[in-house]
Every structure is written in structure tokens, then in C-alpha cells.
A and B are shown apart, each in its own frame.
Chain A
Amino acid sequence: MDTPALSPFTDFCYLFLSILLEGAPFILLGTVISGLIDAYLPPGLIDRWLPRNRVMAVILSALMGLIFPVCECAIVPVIRRLIRKGLPVSCAITYMLAAPIINPIVVLSTMKAFTSSVGQFSLRGAETVVAAGPIYMSGSRLLIAFIVTVGVGLLVLLVKKESVLKAGVLAGSAHPGTFTDDLAHTGANSVSGGKLVLAMRTTMRDFVDTAMYFSIGIAITSVFKAYVTQDLIVLFNQSEGLGIVLMMALAFVLSLCSTSDAFIAANFPVSQAAKLAFLVYGPMMDVKLTFMYLSVFRGKFVALLAIGLFVVIGLLSYYWVRL
């Protein structure tokens, strides 16, 4: 067998393609949902469904992932469309940040990761690595994510959406709920199947938009994994605080899917607090998400969100394990 010429560049190509093949199906799913929302969800309906009390609405949004589980790749186009359909920005951001964690699939994968992450290799069927069990880690992950996302939602309630949303998204959300369904889609309805045409066209446009940001994000992640010399592992355990910071930085760079990140965290030789920080921060903010968020939010808001989440999640994780 001749070994092909391998290099960091071929590693980059391999990494890039693998993340793309894994993530793009979920982006497509998200954009199809986005297209259907655009065509079929009457503006104003969301407003009628949501509790009048905005705080309750934000809390409810944090739990919506339990009913509508969406991973972080799929959620960005979905919330972009929901905002344009009148979902309050505070609720949209809360749902966007919470759903990739507070959903049954991720709960199950976290439980599995902290019980049998390498169980198939364990000769005796016993776990090899964990210091705390699956219930504690899954529960902590859910609770901290809930607190953080509701907190962010409540804070967003206090600011003008102009300072949060990009102009293009803001235009669609500027006057939610006042347009009737008929008015909104007169042209589309005038021809048989028009709504479907609208839905598919929106899907295509949203896919092109979202996948572009996704591609840039995973390219950066792949460059990191392929080119950066990794001799940092000792640093992770020099102190708990540094471990938390580095694990969150790692989560940001690696851009893992929230359904699989627990498998990585479970095997890292770091403190529980650092694992928790990794598990909560990563699905809310990473390289690919940063670029995807920029398709919806203003750059300044994305930067503040990244920094704010970093600090708050780090502190909460640090103190939570001490309670």
C-alpha cells in the first residue's frame, strides 16, 4: 500500500469535509423549517401564543427545545425566520442559546457520555473515567444553561432590538403581527402551490446564507486542528480557573456539535467545573456559530454575547460545583 502524500493541508481538507458532511444536513433541516415558517406561519400567530408576560415568555422560550429540539447548526436560520415572523428578539435569543442544550437528544447524549464514553472498550463494561455521574453532569449542564439563557433573554428585553439585530433582519421584524396572512402572501397564494414555491425559495436563500457562515467557521476550526501545535494539555490542570478558561476556549475553537461534545468533555482530565463550562459554553458560542450569528445579529452584539457568556458561564461553573 502506497501511503498518499499527507500534510497539514490534507488534514485540513479531511477535517473540513468531515464537519461539513456532519453538520450540513442539519443546516438543511433548519433552513427547510425556516422556509416553511416563512410561507405558512402567519405573522402575529407567535405573538398570540406567547404569554403576555415577557418574563414568562423568555422562560418558556428556554424550555422550548424540549418540545422542538434543534441543534445549533439548524437553529440560526430558524430563529432568523421566527424573528421576522414576530417572535420577540429576547425569546428568539433565549431559544437559540438554550435549545442546543436543553433538549432531550443532548440530555441523552450527555448521560451516555458520562456513563459509557468509552464503554465499548472497557473490558468489564464499567466506566473508566468519570468522577461524577451522568445525572449530576447532565442536570448541572441543563440548570446552568437554563439560568444563563433566561438571563440573556431578560437582558435583551431591556435593550432596543436595533442594537441587536442586523438591519436586514430588523426590517422583517420591525412590524410584527400587524400584517395579515393574506396580505403577506398575496402573490404566493394567487397561484396554486405558490406557498410551496415561496417556502423552497426561502429555504434555498437561507441555506446559501447560513451554509456560507458555517463554511467559514468550520474552515477556521479545521485550520486550528490541522496546524496548531498542541502541547497545551498540561496547562489545563495547572489551576481550576485556568482549566475553565482553556476548556471554554477549546469549546469555542473546536466547534463541536452539542450532541457529541459531551463525549470529548467526559474524557478530558480536567475539573468538573471546567467540563461543565465546556459543555454549556460550546453549544452557545463557537467559531462557526459566531459567523452564523453574524447573519442575524450585529457584530457588536455578537462580541458582547461571546464575552458575556464566557465570563458568566465560567463563574457559574466554578461556583456551582462548590455548592
Chain B
Amino acid sequence: MDMKKFLHLASILTLMVWGGMFLYFYVDGRVEKFLSPSFRLYALLAGIGLIILALFNFLNRERSAGVCNHEHLHGDDCQHDHHHDHGDDHGLEHSDAHHHEPEHGEGCAHDHKADCGHDHSHDHHPEHAPVATVGHVHSHDESSGSMLFNLIILLVPLLAAAAYSKDQFSSEYLAKWGRIERQMMQMRVAQANQSSPATASAKADDPTAPLTNPYTSDAIAAAEAEALGLPAPSAAPAGSAAPADTPPGNAWGTFTIEDLKKLVPQSTSGDFLLDVPQIFYTAGDRELMAVMEGIPVETTAQLMPETHDNPNQTRLKAFRLFIECCAADARPISIPVDFEKAPPDYQEMGWYRLYGTLHFVEEENGLVPLMKMNRIEPTTEPTDGLLF
């Protein structure tokens, strides 16, 4: 078997490996650790598509036998005629099958004999100037080497990554990117307090004004209108209670514990059942914070050391991973959990059910929601361990 046929078959094999890998990840369920649900179907289709593509090319390999898989590097200065007749068995192999004339320039580095059996995948202008100057490269060796390199790059990292991936992040990675999430939240809250739109800022200097949510769609619309130079849309007066038929987020006005009970389920013992990201994104909403300060909370999360803002070494970090599309954009959303003494023994990255009370504290770097812990219980990873 010559190199060209070998590379053609190697390309087919590479597609088979890729397709097989996609199918394996999907069928095995590993894909759930990598992709959000909306992307998983694409992975399945890609696996099927790659296998079909490989099989099709394999079954038709005789019609494409000897494909050299390279581009013929003709420049604009390719000033010679490529017109010679190929053998009968050659027509199909030329993807842009055409007739070459025999007047190759002196420097044309390969023999265009009838059984050359490779793909001349380029469009030839029928009016090449018949000048002997040859400004192109016909190097099979170079193209074969390049093709081999491509295939190695396609196979080695994929197979190595599939073999060595643990389908989860290390604590170092989560600590690094989790800290950034925390910092971003704190800076965001600080920014919102400084230049929050519409309703909140309008009342910021009035200590008697009721706390209002600065992040409602009204506030956003007002900011948008301001940015566009349009008149501000009419909004419910700050502080007024939302009409009964107003959907959440439009005009909350004063928010009460009764409102919270309507929104958040409670356990039999009265703990509010909240996810870590729900707690995390409460920070900055002054109405919510006012109501939720001190409430009993139960949540399920993974635990790891709290490496920042842990002055007395009494804290751990409870986190959940939130993924938009794939694990590469995973955001570790975390809150500190404070035991007010040395934390109990625990397994790093293990799953726990956490019981405590919720508080909002000003730390050195800004506002942070925090749970003061009553107890923790080890548990198994929930079915929605990754949040999408």
C-alpha cells in the first residue's frame, strides 16, 4: 500500500475514532458531565454523522483510491498548461476532473502519468499562459507529512484527554475560578450601589424610602432608555406594592417574608430550601437581603476549603457548578459557610446537606452571603449535580 492510500484510509479511521468517541460519550452518559442538555443532541448527531461519513468514504474508497489528499499549490503565477489526458481509470479520482495538457514546465516536480491516482482538487483556468515558468509546489512528500501531522494532532490529544479526564475539576481549579466569581459578584454589587438604575438610585438618599429592588425589568428598561436617549418608560412608583397580577420582577415594591414563602419551598422543619446560586445572587438585592437575613436555610452542595476571607479559619466553601454550554464555561458559584469554630472533618469535594442560617456580611472585598452552620450531613450527588 502506498502512502497516499494509507493516508486516505488513515483519514477514514480517524473519522471513525472521532465518531466512535462522540457516540461513546453520549451512550455512556459521560456527555452529561461535559455539555448542557441542549448541546448533547448535537454531539450524538456528530457521532452518527462522522461514522456515516467515514463509512461512505470507506465503501467508495476504490473510486477515490490513491487520493493524495493535498492541495496543489498553484499560485497566480502558475504559468503553464496543465493539459494532459489521464487514463480511463483516473477520471473520478480528480475531484475537479479535467484534462491536463502535457506541456509541463521544467520545474514541475512530479510526473502526471495516467495512473497517478491522486486528487487534483483545484480549478484550472482554461487559459493558462503557455509559459514555462512554474511557480507552484507539487510535493507529495511534504503533503503526506502534513497530512500525517494533521491526523496525529486529531488523534493523540483526543484519545489522551478521553483516557485521562476525570470529568470533574480539581479543587485548585474550582478555588481559582470560584474566587473570580465571588469577586465579580462583589464588584457588581458595589457598582450597582454606586450607579444603580432608576428606582433604587432615585431613593438612595432618602432614608425613609422603602428598600426597592434596583434590578427589576423596569429599572433595566429605564437604564436602557437613558442610554438610548429615550424618555424613561413609565414604571410603578418605587415602594408601591406590586399589583396582584404583576409577574415577578416587574414591580415588587416592599417584599415580605410571606412573599418569600410563596417563592421558596420549605422543609418540614421550616428551613428554606435554596440552592447555593440562589443564595449567591441574592446579594445586592436589598429588599431580599432585608427579608432573608437570618432565615433558616437548607442546601445541598460540595464542600472545599475556603481559601479567602477566612480570618479565623472557621469557614469552608460550599459550591455548585453552573454551566451555560460546556464544562469549559463552568462557573463555580460558592458561598462561605461558617462554623464559628474549627470546621468538622469532611471530604473535600464531597456532597453534603447543609443546615444553618443565612446572613449577609461585609467583608474586606465587599458584600458576601454566608451561612452560619448548625450541622452538615454527607449525602450523594443529586441528579442535578451540575446546574445548567
Contact = CB atoms under 8 A, between A and B. Distances in A.
B300 interface: no
Interface residues of A, number: 103
Contact of A25 (B43, B168, B197): B43
A13 B96 contact: no
Among A136, A204, A207, the one with the most B-chain Cβ atoms within 10 Å of its Cβ is A204
Contacts of A234: 183
Main secondary structure of the interface of A (DSSP, over half): helix
A134 B225 CA distance: 11
B123 interface: yes
A133 B224 contact: yes
A123 B275 contact: no
A6 B263 CA distance: 38
Contact of B97 (A124, A174, A185): A185
A198 B247 CA distance: 56
A138 to B, nearest CB: 11
Interface string A8-26: 1111111111111110111
Contacts of B96: 179, 184-185
B235 interface: no
Interface string B31-44: 10011000100110
Interface string B210-235: 00010111001101100110000000
A175 B123 contact: yes
Lowest 10 CB-CB distances: which A-B pairs, in order? A187-B97, A175-B125, A133-B224, A168-B71, A187-B91, A126-B249, A25-B46, A269-B187, A6-B170, A125-B248
Interface of B: 11-12, 14-15, 18, 22, 25, 31, 34-35, 39, 42-43, 45-46, 49-50, 53-54, 56-57, 60, 63-64, 67, 69, 71-76, 78, 90-98, 119, 121-127, 136-137, 147, 149-151, 153-154, 157-158, 160-162, 164-173, 176-177, 179-180, 183-185, 187-188, 191-192, 195, 197, 213, 215-217, 220-221, 223-224, 227-228, 247-249, 252, 255, 260, 263-264, 275, 277-278, 280-282, 284-285, 288, 322, 324-329, 331, 333, 347-351
Interface of A: 1, 3-22, 24-26, 28, 32, 38, 43, 84, 115, 118, 121-136, 162, 167-172, 174-176, 178-179, 183-188, 190-191, 194, 197-198, 200-205, 207-209, 211-212, 215-216, 219, 221-222, 225-226, 229-230, 233-234, 237, 256-257, 259-260, 263-264, 267-269, 321
